[in-house]
């Protein structure tokens, strides 16, 4: 598949048998269906960045990520799709490439490996230009697509979210998607952000900083369903994912969306939602990352 068709992002009701409690609606917005690799929210964070790069006459996109980064691989594929060169600055040195990094290379991305200490300079434009000096006309996208184009692109998700949803749930990494979408949704709609890492509530500051004053309301972060930390998992989570797939026919990813739905189930059990709540869970994709556990999943 070499295009992104946003009509593939259907809204699917989650099977009633998964949540015996009464709830007016529990639906999943399937952004995992957009593209096998450029899935989920990454496409929305990239689309205005790429358009801006093309309109500005830039020939090469530079971006950042770790060895398992959904953002890095989405950028590699999207750049290729639009005929732009791409460079990925990778945190850490790898003797053997991860499956994600190998895929980035196969999509034509040039990888530049830097140490963890060097990676700290990822916002230093002069350093980036020096690293990539063999290319000119660089368009720099920060880690996770966390810039104004990323947030504006995430805001475009609002067209998939009907006004009668009372709660919108999504996974949070940098907070870019949550901030961008919060700014566009009706301020009466509650946004629930699920953070898959320890002590992730520091993201509150970044999100608050990028919200319009009248939209800085009705949103909250949950960071207690990290299951050991970012990228960590246990048998309980795998069992949960397999069971969720059997019941709903929806595959979740091991890093983000599985922990969100794990949290949602907990909230349901605690009676967090009123019986007339209409909840939309956003499937932000990330399924490519499941290669690392593919022999443990039934899908």
Q: Which residues bind ligand PLP (CB under 6 A)?
A: 40-42, 70-71, 144, 171-178, 253, 256-257, 284-286
Nearer to ligand PLP, 75 or 176 (CB): 176
Find out whether 54 and 46 touch, Cβ atoms under 8 Å.
no
Residue sitting closest to ligand PLP (CB): 286
| Minimum distance from residue 111 beta carbon to ligand PLP (Å) | 19
| Minimum distance from residue 287 beta carbon to ligand PLP (Å) | 8
Nearer to ligand PLP, 131 or 289 (CB): 289
User: Mind giving me the DSSP string for the chain?
Assistant: --S--GGG--EEEPPGGG--S--SEEEEEEGGGS-SSS-THHHHHHHHHHHHHHHTT--EEEEEE-TT-HHHHHHHHHHHHTT-EEEEEEES--SS--HHHHHHHHTTPEEEEE-HHHHTTTT-HHHHHHHTTTS-SEEE--GGG-SHHHHHHHHGGGGGS-TT-SEEEEE-SSSHHHHHHHTTS-TTSEEEEE--STTGGGHHHHHHHTS-GGGSSSEEEE-S--TTSTT---HHHHHHHHHHHHHH-----TTTHHHHHHHHHHHHHTT-S-TT-EEEEEE---GGGGGGGGGGS--
- Could you tell me the strand order of the sheet in which 190-194 lies? 11-13, 25-30, 278-283, 167-171, 190-194, 219-222
Nearer to ligand PLP, 47 or 71 (CB): 71
| Minimum distance from residue 259 beta carbon to ligand PLP (Å) | 10
Nearer to ligand PLP, 39 or 166 (CB): 39
| Minimum distance from residue 257 beta carbon to ligand PLP (Å) | 6
Phi-psi region of 40 (alpha: psi -120 to 50; beta: other; left: phi over 0): left
| Minimum distance from residue 122 beta carbon to ligand PLP (Å) | 15
Nearer to ligand PLP, 42 or 190 (CB): 42
Nearer to ligand PLP, 64 or 256 (CB): 256
Encoding tokens for residue 227?
Answer: 């299951």
| Minimum distance from residue 95 beta carbon to ligand PLP (Å) | 25
| Minimum distance from residue 176 beta carbon to ligand PLP (Å) | 4
Nearer to ligand PLP, 71 or 190 (CB): 71
Nearer to ligand PLP, 155 or 173 (CB): 173
| Minimum distance from residue 92 beta carbon to ligand PLP (Å) | 18
């Amino acid at each position: 598949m070499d295009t992104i068709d946003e009509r593939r992002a259907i809204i699917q009701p989650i099977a009633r048998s998964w949540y015996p409690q009464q709830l007016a609606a529990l639906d999943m917005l399937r952004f995992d269906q957009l593209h096998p690799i450029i899935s989920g929210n990454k496409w929305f964070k990239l689309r205005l960045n790429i358009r801006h790069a093309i309109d500005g006459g830039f020939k090469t996109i530079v971006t950042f990520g770790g060895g398992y980064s959904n953002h890095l691989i989405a950028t590699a594929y999207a750049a290729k799709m639009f005929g732009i060169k791409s460079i990925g600055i990778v945190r850490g040195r790898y003797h053997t490439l991860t499956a994600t990094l190998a895929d980035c290379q196969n999509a034509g991305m040039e990888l530049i490996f830097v140490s963890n200490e060097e990676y700290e300079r990822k916002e230093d434009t002069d350093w980036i230009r020096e690293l990539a000096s063999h290319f000119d006309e660089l368009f720099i996208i920060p880690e996770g697509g966390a810039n104004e184009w990323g947030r504006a692109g995430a805001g475009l998700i609002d067209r998939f979210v009907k006004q009668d949803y009372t709660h919108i749930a999504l996974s949070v990494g940098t907070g870019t998607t949550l901030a961008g979408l919060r700014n566009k949704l009706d301020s009466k709609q509650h946004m629930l952000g699920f953070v898959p890492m320890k002590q992730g509530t520091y993201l509150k500051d970044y999100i608050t900083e990028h919200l319009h004053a009248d939209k800085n309301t009705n949103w909250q972060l949950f960071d207690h369903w990290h299951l050991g930390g970012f990228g960590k998992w246990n048998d309980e989570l795998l069992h949960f994912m397999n069971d969720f797939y059997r019941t709903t026919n929806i595959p979740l990813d091991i890093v983000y969306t599985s922990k969100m739905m794990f949290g949602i189930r907990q909230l349901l059990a605690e009676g967090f939602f009123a019986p007339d709540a209409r909840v939309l869970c956003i499937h932000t994709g990330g399924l490519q990352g499941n290669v690392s556990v593919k022999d443990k999943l039934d899908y």
